[in-house]
């Protein structure tokens, strides 16, 4: 079977859906305001010292709040949690500029007041390393130290590819 090579934006985007990675809820606090968004652009970049990198859209409220506070939390979604589609809709398809995503939504707070999902598989509390932030025009790449992490027994991380398959399957039902 031969590859079909593409150069158009739509074709490249479809090919990029084959990159495997997790699906996370990224949360932030700036002043008295909290917000969160779905994120698939997260990766561990070093283990000693423990550091992560995240890619965030430059026009998003989350980006604004991370730039102001220098902190964020990533909650790893659990593929076994039946509420994942609703969580993804809540945090992925609405802007925090228009709606309080945490209104009537179960969450806990870190000692810095940043929300996280109590049903997550793992939680990473991070501090941005400003000199390692890269402006990529439409997005920023934030590199951050992992200050604290929490895990719980049970559950498995949800990957972005699994989520995409589940929504395609749901659309065919």
**Tens digit of each residue's pLDDT (9 = 90 or more) over 98-139:** 999 999 999 999 999 999 999 999 999 999 999 999 999 999
Structural domain includes residue 15? no
Task: Report strand pairing: 33-39 vs 50-57.
Answer: unpaired
Structural domain for 129, as ranges: 21-172
8 A C-beta contact, residue 54 and residue 42:
yes
Q: What pTM was estimated for this model as a whole?
A: 0.88
Alpha-helix runs per DSSP H in 22-83 = 61-69
Structural domain includes residue 4? no
* Over residues 59-78, mean pLDDT: 97
> How many of the other CB atoms lie within 10 Å of CB of 120?
24
Q: SS3 of 79, please?
A: coil
Provide the domain count of the chain: 1
Structural domain includes residue 155? yes
Structural domain includes residue 40? yes
Structural domain includes residue 10? no
Chain segment 134-159, per-residue pLDDT in tens? 999 999 999 999 999 999 998 899 88
Confidence of residue 14 (pLDDT cuts 50, 70, 90): confident
Structural domain includes residue 16? no
Q: What is the CATH classification number for the domain harbouring 155? A: 2.30.110.10
Distance between CA atoms of residues 157 and 136, nearest Å: 28
Structural domain includes residue 41? yes
Distance between CA atoms of residues 88 and 103, nearest Å: 15
Among residues 88, 27, 112, 106, which one has the least CA distance to residue 62?
A: 27
Half-sphere exposure of 36 (CA within 13 A, CB side): 27
Structural domain includes residue 7? no
């Amino acid at each position: 079977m031969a590859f079909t090579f593409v150069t158009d934006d739509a074709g490249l985007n479809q090919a990029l859906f084959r990159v495997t990675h997790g699906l996370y809820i990224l949360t932030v606090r700036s002043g008295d305001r909290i917000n969160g968004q779905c994120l698939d652009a997260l990766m561990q970049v070093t283990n000693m010292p423990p550091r992560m990198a995240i890619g965030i859209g430059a026009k998003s409220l989350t980006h604004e709040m991370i730039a102001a506070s220098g902190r964020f939390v990533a909650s790893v979604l659990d593929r076994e949690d039946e509420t994942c589609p609703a969580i993804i809709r809540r945090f992925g398809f609405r802007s925090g500029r228009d709606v309080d995503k945490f209104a009537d939504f179960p969450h806990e707070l870190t000692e810095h007041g940043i929300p996280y999902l109590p049903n997550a598989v793992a939680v990473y509390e991070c501090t941005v390393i400003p000199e390692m932030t890269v402006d990529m025009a439409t997005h920023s790449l934030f590199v951050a130290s992992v200050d604290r992490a929490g895990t719980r027994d049970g559950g498995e991380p949800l990957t972005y590819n699994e989520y995409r398959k589940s929504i395609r399957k749901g659309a065919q039902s």
